[in-house]
Structure 1
Amino acid sequence: MFVAIPPREKSPLPWAMPAVFVALWGCFVLASLLPDSSQRHLLVEWGALSGDLRSLPALWGSVLNGHLARLVTALFLHADWAHLLGNLLFLLIFGAPAERAMGPWRFLALFLVGGAVANLAAVLAIETPDRLIIGASGAVSALIGAYLALFPSARLGLVLPLGLFLQFVRMPAAVLIGVWAALQVVYTFVGPASGAVAWSAHLAGFAFGGAFAVVSRRAIKRRMKRGRGF
């Protein structure tokens, strides 16, 4: 007797994380081709500014003027190559497994909304008015928080320099992310240049990502059981 076995559903190719990667890279390259005066104008017009939302009238004015959109557009602006490459590195490490688990649309929602929430935290936390807030660090922090919530027992591979040799080691992701999170807390209070880096955005993004993953965990598990996860 023959039994028809339905073909196993193939996992779709990930596209959201590569799209975000290309968008971050492309925006920086295009901005770097502009004259210096145009670059500064671009940052001021599309970056988030501290002090914009500190009062109810300011918040309402930002809604009317469309300034709230800056919390998202600021994610695609970076100060220099080091700023960009650091975010792209962590996006590759944590973004790929996060998208495979939660799917492209949920991944995009986490990146954009988590990044906006992180930038909002920086806007409210930075005391100096009109401090420019740019970069995808808060959004990447949201991915890191979601990764820890989804895969608390995962292990990450690291290449450590030991004298003249390089040694590949595997360490629990929770330990590495825990060290990263502890550094964000320290830098929030004793950080360099009195808040030149928006460490509060990193912490807010991390917390939002963890909460997002916890709330979505049941839907993500159903998705992975259908063969669309790992």
Structure 2
Amino acid sequence: MFIQLESRRRPPPTWATLLLVGICVAMFLWIATEPASGRTRLLMVWGTVPATLLDTSAPWAIQLAELRFARLVTALFIHADWIHLTTNLLFLIIFGVPTERALGAARFLVLFVIGGALANLIGALTLATTNSPIIGSSGAVSSVVGAYLALYPRARLGLVLPLGFFLEFVRVPASLLIGFWAVLQILFTYVGPAFGAVAWWTHIAGFLLGIVFALMWRPGIARRARR
């Protein structure tokens, strides 16, 4: 369990983070109610399928009608299983709340949606012939983690470690935990047992995009903090 160690004046409510968590959970529960064949169909319809997305043989009118590029966004909100969902949401909450406080809700939503969509696009380009969908908010969460690191490079987080029958509370540099997160991303490059597309570059791209977005917005954040 992690605890954010930052005590400042009363922060504004982080409704954008909660909204994203709620949408992901609602989408997961909706898909879970479908039979196995229905779940597979929905993952294919709403996920980013590289071979379909990058198929330039179809006329643009058909591509627009099929909302192919919209699936770069819809894929962010669907997950293959509970482990996939809870891992992404855990890191979204840990790093999303302080990042949203720094950026504001509007910038944070842009970071999540645009950063995640671009990360999915880059992931699709590296898997151009794959017919399995890239799904989940890993690329968007990677953007949030990258932005957090850029905004709080010296931050420390509280980590509760189980030591026998006791719990030990220790302070750990956020950069160390982000390194641990990167290892987890490698483990979760498979989006479910039946969908084995490796999305490693989606995570890397999202992380780097998050850093770029945060650095680009830093002057605006500083002006906002002085108000």
TM-score range, shorter chain: 0.7 to 0.9
| Matching residue of 1:208 | 209
| Matching residue of 1:6 | none
Are residue 149 (structure 1) and residue 146 (structure 2) matched? no
Native 8 Å contact 1:126 1:195 kept in 2 = no
Native 8 Å contact 1:14 1:99 kept in 2 = yes
Distance 1:50 1:57 in 2: 14
Change (3 A) 1:28 1:59: farther
* Matched position secondary structure for 1:157: strand
Report the alpha carbon displacement of residue 186 of structure 1 after superposing the two structures with TM: 9.9
Native 8 Å contact 1:53 1:124 kept in 2 = no
Native 8 Å contact 1:14 1:100 kept in 2 = yes
Distance 1:59 1:186 in 2: 38
Change (3 A) 1:58 1:155: farther
| Matching residue of 1:5 | none
Are residue 24 (structure 1) and residue 28 (structure 2) matched? no
What one-letter code is carried by the residue in structure 1 that aligns with 2:172?
M
Native 8 Å contact 2:54 2:128 kept in 1 = no
Report the alpha carbon displacement of residue 199 of structure 1 after superposing the two structures with TM: 1.6
Native 8 Å contact 1:50 1:124 kept in 2 = yes
TM-score normalised over the length of structure 1: 0.83
Summarize deviations over 1:48-88 as a string: whole Å, max 9, x none: 10223446556956446320000000011100001000011
Change (3 A) 1:73 1:194: closer
What one-letter code is carried by the residue in structure 2 that aligns with 1:136?
S
| Matching residue of 2:5 | none
Distance 2:175 2:210 in 1: 14
Moved more, 48-57 or 205-214: 48-57
Q: Matches of residues 62-141 of structure 1 in structure 2 within 5 Å? A: 62-63=63-64, 65-126=66-127, 128-141=129-142
Report the alpha carbon displacement of residue 220 of structure 1 after superposing the two structures with TM: 1.0
Structure of higher CA gyration radius: 1
- Aligned residues: CA RMSD: 2.8
Native 8 Å contact 1:184 1:203 kept in 2 = no
Summarize deviations over 1:9-66 as a string: whole Å, max 9, x none: 9854221111111001111011111222222221111111022344655695644632
| Matching residue of 2:222 | 221
Change (3 A) 1:75 1:224: same
* Matched position secondary structure for 2:51: coil
| Equivalent pairs, count | 215
TM-score normalised over the length of structure 2: 0.84
Moved more, 178-187 or 92-101: 178-187
Report the alpha carbon displacement of residue 225 of structure 1 after superposing the two structures with TM: 2.0
| Matching residue of 1:3 | none
Distance 2:103 2:79 in 1: 27
Q: Matches of residues 174-189 of structure 1 in structure 2 within 5 Å? A: 174-181=175-182
What one-letter code is carried by the residue in structure 1 that aligns with 2:118?
V
Distance 1:104 1:139 in 2: 15
Report the alpha carbon displacement of residue 197 of structure 1 after superposing the two structures with TM: 4.1
Unaligned 5+ residue runs, structure 1? 1-8
| Matching residue of 2:172 | 171
* Matched position secondary structure for 1:133: coil
Distance 1:21 1:217 in 2: 25
Moved more, 64-73 or 145-154: 64-73
* Matched position secondary structure for 1:66: coil
Distance 1:80 1:186 in 2: 14
Change (3 A) 1:58 1:20: same
Higher helix share: 1
Unaligned 5+ residue runs, structure 2? 1-8
Moved more, 106-115 or 161-170: 161-170
